[in-house]
């Protein structure tokens, strides 16, 4: 029997449109920096992809900087050397929420003393009162701030109050970077509506190939004065090196497909997630669904059952033919306690039990039902005193 894949937040299966675009791109011979016909054909594919990625977030195509992935995009964005108009003074401090991806929590290119964390609430959303208070203090001190807050958390799926945060940040003279990796293609991500000055995307979370991403700069006034990779001047001087034509073609095709199907996929996946959570609670009434009372991505369920260790459960589900994860899948397969749940106020015992189930556009009712059947078997085996659960 075919396996059931319920780990879309780790990576999404390749969309057919992306596969077709990549195969076609592999037939091209030219370097996109060459001026001959072959080079211009490769360049045309890249610029088409740039326009498709920009359209997904309502940005101008020329504001898209292609990278090797979201980690590089985040690192490119998180630099003190961000110029705003004619003001070339560096940023003094980076504020990040306590639930950010490790590539943001490490502070990018800010010095260790130039990084601070903003707490989150028990629901898993950034604490706006704490953010406003800290911004006010920094503004009074004359500090120049860059803030990074993800649009939706990769573990809990909780959607962050980005618009409100952006108003506070801009009122204090700060700039806002948004990691939209998990949100793009699942919920609307228009940069203007969000108020994001910089925004990071990842191809493989959308159903494009791994190894491609983008940093998008909302306006011409914001200039990154310190490229990570210098050399031939590609990406308008923001990122040197010959572009990965096939990967970017696939990225663009995936972005276009996700944009065109956003409303329908949101509806479809929401229903499947609700079905999963309903059955989860029936089979394991003691399950805790994290962020259940907050706005979440339509595809994500992070849950725990006290006494059931996540690493053991994930392996057991894998043996039953079901792929899930024990939280974020960004640490080379390592199973570590969740900093997200710790930030939300949950103790290490429950955090070590957290299992993430994430769905996608090709997930079916049968997949969900098979996932629940596998979980029921695992739950009975691993959970003490489970003899009386519902049939």
pLDDT at 1: 78
Nearest in space to 347 (alpha carbons), one of 25, 32, 122? 122
**Are 220 and 329 part of one and the same domain?**
no
Confidence of residue 383 (pLDDT cuts 50, 70, 90): confident
Out of 233, 260, 287, a domain closes at 260
Q: Does the pLDDT value for residue 387 go beyond 50?
A: no
Residues recorded for the chain:
391
Asked if residue 388 belongs to a domain, the reply is: no
Asked if residue 226 belongs to a domain, the reply is: yes
pLDDT at 385: 41
Out of 220, 237, 260, a domain closes at 260
| CA 136 – CA 130 distance, rounded (Å) | 10
Of the listed ranges 194-198, 230-234, 282-286, the least confidently predicted one is 230-234
| Mean per-residue pLDDT over the chain, rounded | 94
Out of 242, 260, 278, a domain closes at 260
**Are 93 and 213 part of one and the same domain?**
yes
pLDDT at 384: 62
φ, ψ dihedrals at 317, nearest 5°: -65, -35
**Are 303 and 239 part of one and the same domain?**
no
pLDDT at 327: 67
For range 362-371, the mean pLDDT: 98
For range 23-32, the mean pLDDT: 96
Nearest in space to 377 (alpha carbons), one of 328, 299, 308? 308
pLDDT tens column, 232-285: 899 999 999 999 999 999 999 999 999 999 999 999 999 999 999 999 999 999
**Are 70 and 113 part of one and the same domain?**
yes
pLDDT tens column, 292-344: 999 999 999 999 999 999 999 999 999 999 999 986 555 445 556 789 999 99
**Are 231 and 243 part of one and the same domain?**
yes
Which range of residues forms the domain containing residue 330?
4-13+262-382
Q: Choose the catalytic residue: 26, 106, 189, 330.
A: 330
Contacts of 220 (CB under 8 A, 6+ apart): none
Nearest in space to 250 (alpha carbons), one of 294, 207, 303? 207
Share of the chain above pLDDT 70, in %: 95
Contacts of 61 (CB under 8 A, 6+ apart): 47, 50, 51, 54
Token pair for residue 63? 């504001």
**Are 179 and 279 part of one and the same domain?**
no
Confidence of residue 391 (pLDDT cuts 50, 70, 90): very low
- How many structural domains is the chain composed of? 2
pLDDT at 337: 73
Under 8 Å between Cβ of 314 and 379 = no
Confidence of residue 390 (pLDDT cuts 50, 70, 90): very low
pLDDT tens column, 38-94: 999 999 999 999 999 999 999 999 999 999 999 999 999 999 999 999 989 999 999
Distances from the Cα of 159 to the Cα of 20, 57, 130, 354, angstroms = 32, 16, 18, 19
Instruction: Name 184's bridge partners.
Output: 187
Under 8 Å between Cβ of 126 and 118 = yes
Active site residue 330: yes
Token pair for residue 128? 């706006």
Asked if residue 200 belongs to a domain, the reply is: yes
Identify the burial level of 333 via C-beta atoms within 10 angstroms of its C-beta, where 0-12 means exposed, 13-18 middle and 19 or more buried. Answer: exposed
Q: Quick one: three-class SS letters along the chain?
A: CCCEECECCCCCCCCHHHHHHHHHHHCCCCCCCCCCHHHHHHHHHHHHHHHHHHHHCCCCHHHEEEECCHHHHHHHHCCCCEEECCECCCCCEEEEECCCCHHHHCCCCCCHHHEEEECECCCCCECHHHHHHHHHHHHHCCCCEEEECCCECCCCCEECCHHHHHHHHHHCCCEEEEECCCCECCECCCHHHHCCCEEEEEHHHCCCCCCCEEEEECCCCEEECCCCCCCCCCHHHCCCCCCCHHHHHHHHHHHHHHHHCHHHHHHHHHHHHHHHHHHHHHHCCCCEECCCCCCECCCEEEEECCCCCHHHHHHHHHHCCEECECCCCCCCCCCCCCHHHHHCCCCHHHHCCCEEEECCCCCCHHHHHHHHHHHHHHHHHHCCCCCCCCC
For range 144-171, the mean pLDDT: 98
CATH number for the domain harbouring residue 302? 3.90.1150.10
Asked if residue 120 belongs to a domain, the reply is: yes
Under 8 Å between Cβ of 150 and 168 = no
Nearest in space to 354 (alpha carbons), one of 306, 300, 285, 386? 306
CATH number for the domain harbouring residue 166? 3.40.640.10
Asked if residue 108 belongs to a domain, the reply is: yes
**Are 315 and 248 part of one and the same domain?**
no
For range 127-134, the mean pLDDT: 98
**Are 298 and 234 part of one and the same domain?**
no
Under 8 Å between Cβ of 66 and 213 = yes
């Amino acid at each position: 029997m075919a396996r059931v894949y319920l780990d879309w937040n780790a990576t999404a299966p390749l969309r057919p449109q992306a596969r077709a675009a990549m195969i076609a791109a592999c037939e091209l011979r030219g370097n996109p920096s060459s001026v001959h016909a072959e080079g211009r054909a490769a360049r045309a594919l890249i610029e088409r992809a740039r326009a498709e990625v920009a359209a997904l977030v309502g940005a101008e195509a020329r504001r898209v900087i292609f990278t090797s992935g979201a980690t590089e995009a985040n690192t490119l964005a998180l630099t003190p050397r961000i110029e705003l108009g004619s003001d070339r003074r560096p940023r003094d401090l980076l504020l990040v929420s306590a639930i950010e991806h490790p590539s943001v929590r490490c502070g990018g290119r800010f010095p260790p003393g130039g990084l601070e964390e903003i707490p989150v609430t028990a629901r898993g959303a950034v604490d706006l009162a704490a953010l406003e208070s800290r911004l006010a203090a920094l503004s009074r001190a004359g500090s120049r701030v860059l803030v990074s807050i993800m649009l939706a958390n990769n573990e809990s799926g909780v959607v962050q109050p980005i618009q409100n945060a952006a108003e506070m940040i801009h009122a204090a003279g700060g700039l806002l970077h948004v990691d939209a990796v998990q949100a793009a293609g699942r919920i609307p991500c228009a940069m203007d509506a969000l108020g994001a000055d910089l925004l990071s995307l990842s191809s493989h979370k959308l159903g494009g190939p791994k190894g491609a991403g983008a940093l998008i700069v909302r306006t011409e006034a914001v200039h990154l004065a310190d490229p990570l990779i210098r050399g031939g001047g590609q990406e308008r001087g923001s990122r040197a090196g010959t572009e990965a034509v096939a990967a970017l073609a696939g990225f663009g095709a995936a972005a276009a497909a996700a944009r065109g199907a956003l409303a329908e996929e949101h509806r479809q996946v929401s229903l499947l997630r609700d079905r999963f959570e309903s059955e989860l609670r029936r089979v394991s009434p003691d399950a805790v669904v994290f962020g259940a009372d907050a706005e979440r991505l339509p595809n994500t369920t992070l849950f725990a059952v006290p006494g059931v260790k996540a690493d053991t459960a994930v392996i057991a589900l894998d043996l039953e033919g079901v792929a899930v994860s024990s939280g974020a899948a960004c640490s080379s397969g390592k199973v570590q306690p969740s900093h997200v749940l710790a930030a939300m106020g949950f103790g290490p015992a429950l955090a070590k039990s957290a299992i993430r189930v994430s769905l996608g556009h090709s997930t079916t009712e049968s997949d969900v039902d098979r996932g629940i059947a596998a979980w029921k078997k695992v739950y009975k085996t691993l959970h003490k005193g489970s003899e009386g659960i519902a049939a």
